[in-house]
Homo-oligomer: A and B are copies of this chain.
């Protein structure tokens, strides 16, 4: 067959299996989302619809890939934890990385109009992704703690910054100058004394990010603000309360895999 004389080029496709029995964290980030959020006039400091769209894309990704047991999102990034025993796509790195990034991207574009019915997508947005391997639970917990601490730091800064700009009538340059060298307590104080904002009462989603957990019976625990009719139609149970990551890891210790089927799936990472 004519094709056979060229088929040797397949020999250049080298195997890329990931180490077995290690946790996979897949993280996706918006590509040039500063420009993207400007082009679509995202509300500052947080655009609730944009965050809900991210959550929706993340949920779709979890539904398509049952070995994802936990996801955490903030701003234009989302992290997914795959259980360490996963054999998804024979643990081939490129296959996993490209498929998950594609799935997330596709859902984001597909669901856009549901969250922004009045705002047509100006151009196709893209994301980049990466996979990181973690051998133990400790690193996995610290990874998510790291992302959530990042959420807190960024959100406190952004909330104070935009209060200074939007309500305090500072220029962005002035607002950056005001915040230079300040600590968390200083920012809390600025919010409270100047703008009468108690930071701790701000929507938990903004302060702590979104957490999606796969539970027994394939139910998701989704944050309480996720008032999605669609979710219930799918038979997905809405949780009663948001789950900051610290609670998730307390309630669902990342236990060793067991044969038991009564445990929550998170218990069988």
Closest Cβ of chain B to A65, distance in Å, is 10
The verdict on A130 contacting B95 (CB below 8 Å), with A1-B153, A124-B109, A149-B3 known, is yes
Complex Cα–Cα for A14 and B15 (A): 9
Complex Cα distance, B232 from A2, in Å, reads 37
Q: Kindly list chain B residues whose C-beta atoms are within 8 Å of the C-beta of A139.
A: 9, 12, 21
CA gap between A97 and B110 in the complex, in Å: 21
The reply to whether A124 and B98 contact each other, CB–CB distance below 8 Å, is no
Question: What 0/1 pattern do residues 7 to 22 of A give for CB contact below 8 A with B?
Answer: 1111111110101111
Which of A17, A125, A129 gathers most chain B CB within 10 Å?
A129
List B contacts of A104 (CB < 8 A).
Answer: 102
Binds B, one of A41-49, A140-148, A235-243, A259-267: A140-148
* Contacting pair B2 A132 (CB below 8 A): no
Residues of B within 8 A of A108 (CB): 106
Residue of chain B at shortest CB distance from A145: B6
Instruction: Decide: A19 near B20, CB < 8 A? Known: A106-B125, A125-B106, A129-B94.
Output: no
- Residues of B near A126 (CB, < 8 A) are 64, 99, 102-103, 106
Q: Is the CB–CB distance between A153 and B3 below 8 Å? A: yes
> With an 8 A cutoff between CB atoms, is A136 at the interface?
yes
A94 to B31, alpha carbons, bound, how many Å? 14
> CB distance B103 to A106 under 8 Å?
no
Does A75 count as interface, using CB distance less than 8 angstroms? no
Given contacts A124-B60, A153-B2, contact A19 B12 (CB under 8 A): yes
Contacts of A84 in B (CB 8 A): 135
Give Cα A98–Cα B152 distance, bound, in whole angstroms.
27
A–B pairs, 23, beta carbons within 8 Å: A2-B152, A3-B150, A3-B153, A9-B132, A9-B134, A9-B139, A9-B146, A12-B19, A12-B134, A19-B22, A19-B135, A31-B103, A95-B130, A98-B127, A98-B128, A101-B102, A101-B105, A102-B102, A102-B126, A102-B127, A102-B129, A109-B110, A110-B121
**New A-B pairs, 10, CB < 8 Å, besides A10-B146, A31-B102, A106-B124:** A2-B152, A5-B142, A19-B22, A19-B135, A21-B139, A94-B129, A99-B127, A102-B128, A106-B126, A135-B136
